[in-house]
Amino acid sequence: MLFGMNWDGAHEVACTCKTANSYVVAEKGEHRVCRDLERGTDEFLCQQASQITPSKHEELLKDLDELSATRDFQLKAYESLGGAIRIPTQTWDDYGRPGEDPRWDILEKLHEYLESRFPLVHAKLNKTVVNHYALVYSWKGKDESLKPVLLTAHQDVVPVEPLTLDQWIQPPFSGYFDGEWIWGRGSCDDKPGLIGSLTAVETLLEQGFEPTRSFVLAYGIDEERGGIEGATAIRDHLLSVYGPDSFSLLVDEGGGYGEENGIIWSQPAVAEKGQLNVRMEVNTPGGHSSRPPAHTGIGILASLVTELEANPHVPHLYRNGTYYKQLQCHAEHDSQLPKTIRRMIKEARESDDALKQLEAELTASLPAFKHIAGTTQAVDIIEGGVKVNALPERAHVVVNHRIADYSSVKELQERFTGVVWPVVEHFNLSLNAFGTPYGDKSATAGHVLLSDAYGNALNPAPVTPTSGDAYEFVSGTILAALGRSPREQESKTRAVVVPGLSLGNTDTRHYWNLTQHIFRYGHQNSRDRYNGAHTVNEAMRASGFLEMIRFFHLLILNADESPLL
């Protein structure tokens, strides 16, 4: 699992200055930011924040911890998640508009369930429904001069493949709690975020908590197909009510934490890869299969795919890239990291030759390197032909790309065109690549069309600053949540917070103009996911779900009084 988690390094975070070689460059109350003279004035190598817990609400936090330890609270929380799982809010890519396609209606049952399960949330918070099914809850604070905090999640889940039903230990929409695991589709992605945040707010309301800072809870409806209808409507609503850059921070699903080499590594994702799905279509003359050409349209398409896969994207390391910063964190904190790797990482800080040597070593020895550090391509869909004795007039594939944080949609489009163009020329075809024509279409044996398959191309996300107060706040809250955990493995194990890189795309793609401080973090331990998300036997360890609720409790109470936001 070395370097296999969503890790990224930090340049500058708050620390306690205890050595003669460090000096304070910023101070706010008890929080200090330090520089190490031995590393130079501009090196901040994954220094760690102190744990942050509330002072004004210290007793309330203790009460919440005690309440969370009771069996009644735990069983109620487990059933809240289980009941949500039993409502199959599956989302398909071919959905029509909300209000027109009846398949959206299942969300009404989920809304009725949420109202019955969280009565105080629905009595005390202002609820707004946007685009029929997306939910926004506003929890008004007493001090309107403070920027609110935005907590988001999504209500939908990926569909269950009917052919896999007999492979599930428990039925996929049972929400069954077997004493350790809560089973079902959505138990990992993302109904824990939905139910966990609502449970935390409901519990705080039960305790009589009245916030000083405002909080907004926003729950999308189609994150699993890009947030086309849900997150876009939420964004437009929040912009109309609050305006751009109006939130102090945003926390959505994403990174989690896990143990490796005796350290708990927590990785709130501050960056997110881009995306481009390329539809590559070959159009050729039809005819009877008894008189085929040397290469049919499907044969030509196969040659194009072969050329693509013969030219995979080569990952690179950049000193300002997120993955290189992840390596810096390992070099600083992981004593079990091989000495040769640590040496290369440290020498690469200034040496271009060492950076190339490190890149070559990781390419050769770490299979996950190309997936994390580079742009990926996967040919996922192929269609062509209608009859066994008729030459195919049209055939196409869809190629999925996750774009490295140092690249762009435009750069990827240009590279894709450059790879396939020699094959297109070889077969005497013309090409239209993303609206730009190549070759003489009238004098060719066919035509190739490259396009954005679904119209959802996305550049890599802006990177959340890791040198400011918001990152310190999130880091300190995560460390405090781990330190207060009743699970000995977490509370007794050294933890390191590392800004991470999200390889997928979340609803946050639509929220970039609401705040600069976006953290994709769900406080899930990797060992608390039975078989992961989007697959057979998705299940969440019940005690892990309690840790998510604990994190939300602490996040809300800290945000309500912290000078860092």
For CA atoms 305, 307, 310, 316, the dihedral sign is negative
Q: Please count the other Cβ atoms lying within 10 Å of the Cβ belonging to residue 58.
A: 11
Alpha-carbon gap, residue 46 to 499, rounded angstroms: 9
Per CATH, the homologous superfamily of domain 78-258+504-561 is Zn peptidases (3.40.630.10)
Q: Please count the other Cβ atoms lying within 10 Å of the Cβ belonging to residue 440.
A: 9
Which tens digit of pLDDT belongs to each residue from 235-250? 999 999 999 999 999 9
Catalytic residue among 222, 223, 253, 528: 223
Strands 134-139 and 215-220, bridge-based pairing: antiparallel
Residues of the chain with pLDDT > 70, as a percent, come to 92
Q: Is the pLDDT of residue 32 over 70?
A: no
Instruction: Find the largest Cα–Cα distance for the chain.
Output: 85
> Counting Cβ atoms within 10 Å, is residue 516 exposed (0-12), middle (13-18) or buried (19+)?
middle
Residue 223 designated active-site = yes
pLDDT at site 8: 30
Q: Is the pLDDT of residue 7 over 90?
A: no
- Best-predicted range by mean pLDDT (6-15, 45-54, 519-528): 519-528
Model confidence band, residue 4 (pLDDT cutoffs 50, 70, 90): very low
pLDDT at site 322: 80
Q: Is the pLDDT of residue 42 over 70?
A: no
Alpha-carbon gap, residue 104 to 91, rounded angstroms: 8
Alpha-carbon gap, residue 145 to 142, rounded angstroms: 9
Model confidence band, residue 441 (pLDDT cutoffs 50, 70, 90): low
Alpha-carbon gap, residue 431 to 305, rounded angstroms: 15
CATH class label, 275-313+375-452: alpha beta
Q: How many residues does the chain have?
A: 565
Model confidence band, residue 45 (pLDDT cutoffs 50, 70, 90): confident
Q: Is the pLDDT of residue 17 over 50?
A: no
pLDDT at site 443: 62
Catalytic residue among 8, 12, 156, 528: 156
CA dihedral 100, 106, 107, 108 (to 10 degrees): 90
Residues 502-508, mean pLDDT to the nearest whole number: 92
Task: Please list the residue range(s) of the chain that carry CATH number 3.30.70.360.
Answer: 275-313+375-452
Q: Is the pLDDT of residue 427 over 70?
A: yes
CA dihedral 226, 228, 229, 234 (to 10 degrees): 80
Q: Please count the other Cβ atoms lying within 10 Å of the Cβ belonging to residue 147.
A: 17
- DSSP symbol at 90: B
Task: Say whether 534 counts as a known binding-site residue.
Answer: yes
Please report, for residues 14, 125, 421, 523, the alpha-carbon distance to residue 217 in angstroms, rounded to integers and kept in the order given.
Answer: 28, 10, 48, 17
Task: Say whether 154 counts as a known binding-site residue.
Answer: yes
- State the average pLDDT for the chain: 91
- Going by C-alpha positions, the residue among 552, 530, 560 that lies closest to residue 169 is 530
Question: Which residues of 167-321 form beta strands (DSSP E)?
Answer: 181-183, 215-220, 249-260, 263-266, 269-272, 274-283
Task: Say whether 252 counts as a known binding-site residue.
Answer: yes
Which tens digit of pLDDT belongs to each residue from 106-158? 999 999 999 999 999 999 999 999 999 999 999 999 999 999 999 999 999 99
Task: Say whether 189 counts as a known binding-site residue.
Answer: yes
Which tens digit of pLDDT belongs to each residue from 275-295? 999 999 999 999 999 999 999
- Going by C-alpha positions, the residue among 392, 475, 375 that lies closest to residue 12 is 475
pLDDT at site 320: 85
